[in-house]
Chain A
Amino acid sequence: MHGFANPARFLRLARWLTPLTLGLGLVVASLALAWGLFMAPADRLQGDTVRILFVHVPAVWLGMAGWMTIAIASLVELVWRHPLAGIAARAAAVPGAFYTALGLATGSIWGRPAWGTWWVWDGRLTSFLVLLFLYFAYIALSDAASRDGGNGRVAAIFGLVGAINIPIINRSVVWWNSLHQPPSITAGKSAMDAAFLWPLLAAAIGFSLIFGAVVLMRMRAILANQQAEARLRRKAAE
């Protein structure tokens, strides 16, 4: 793992990994969405609205996975001072915030026909909204640090501390009464019928690959900007 902390080695790897993950992700996600939209059956109780599951669940999963990426990369940055760890954390913030917002929006759209309301202030929805605000704060902190030439330690500590919200989101439907259903998929077990489970897994894999490709693209952008700025500073000093 330490070997990939070298920016030159990372760039060699990322050049072929970016189009591969992006292409594969687009194909798998498109097929999964078409499967969910046209081939999966309507649910006995929810009818056709169950099809929103194939967009909503991957978005929610990536919103939480995005913050876990930030937390793990921040830990690596703080403990081992890997040069790429801070860049990886910053690169995961915007796609993580996007999928969190998408999870909230699709959940609200699903809530109207399923619950009869767009929004309720219960544990799950509120803790997930808090996650979106945490993303905004992290993006502001890390942008300010990079603009002012700081080392990003404050953003890294914030990324670690903010991870406390992830288990709260995960357990919120168990701890508090909610309109939101309890978890259908837990470690090694699923209460979901195979007709929904397989397209859902395909959508989660497809969107995760797209998320990975976007993180790689954003890491390459941050790295290229840093290298250009360092080169210009060196030339100005000569």
Chain B
Amino acid sequence: MREALDHWPFIVAAYTLGVVGTVVMIGWSWLAMRRAEARRERSRER
């Protein structure tokens, strides 16, 4: 008889991908925005 598959490793993997991926995307976009706005300010001062 086949052993039943444990569902929780699949659920944890899907949630981890969703949460970590979303946090990385937010952080990357926020850093890119802050860097670009700082660059614009520097170009104003020159």
By the criterion CB–CB under 8 Å, are B10 and A210 in contact?
Answer: no
In whole angstroms, how far apart are the Cα atoms of A37 and B13 in the complex? 13
Least CB distance, B7 to chain A, in whole angstroms: 4
Given contacts A98-B21, A213-B26, A232-B43, contact A112 B10 (CB under 8 A): yes
Contact string, B4-32, partner A, CB cutoff 8 A, digits 1/0?
01011011011101110110011001101
Q: Report which of A55, A218, A220, A221 forms a contact with B14, defined as CB distance below 8 A.
A: A55
**Chain A residues within 8 Å of B42, by CB:** 228
Q: Report which of A102, A110, A221 forms a contact with B10, defined as CB distance below 8 A.
A: A110
Least CB distance, A223 to chain B, in whole angstroms: 8
**Chain A residues within 8 Å of B11, by CB:** 37, 48-49, 51-52
In whole angstroms, how far apart are the Cα atoms of A95 and B43 in the complex? 28
Identity of the chain A residue whose Cβ is nearest the Cβ of B42 in the assembled complex: A228
Query: Chain A contact residues: over half helix, strand or loop, or mixed?
Result: helix
A72 on interface, CB distance cutoff 8 Å: no
In whole angstroms, how far apart are the Cα atoms of A207 and B19 in the complex? 10
Given contacts A207-B22, A217-B32, contact A106 B37 (CB under 8 A): no
Which of chain A's residues 23-62 have a Cβ closer than 8 Å to chain B?
29, 33, 37, 47-49, 51-52, 55-56, 59
Given contacts A22-B26, A213-B26, contact A228 B14 (CB under 8 A): no
A129 on interface, CB distance cutoff 8 Å: no
Q: Report which of A22, A218, A228 forms a contact with B32, defined as CB distance below 8 A.
A: A218
A interface residues (Cβ-Cβ under 8 A, vs B): 22, 29, 33, 37, 47-49, 51-52, 55-56, 59, 94-95, 98, 102, 105-106, 109-110, 112-113, 207, 210, 213-214, 217-218, 220-225, 227-228, 231-232, 235
Write 9 A-B pairs (CB below 8 A) sorted by A numbering.
A37-B11, A52-B11, A106-B18, A109-B10, A113-B5, A207-B22, A210-B22, A217-B33, A227-B40
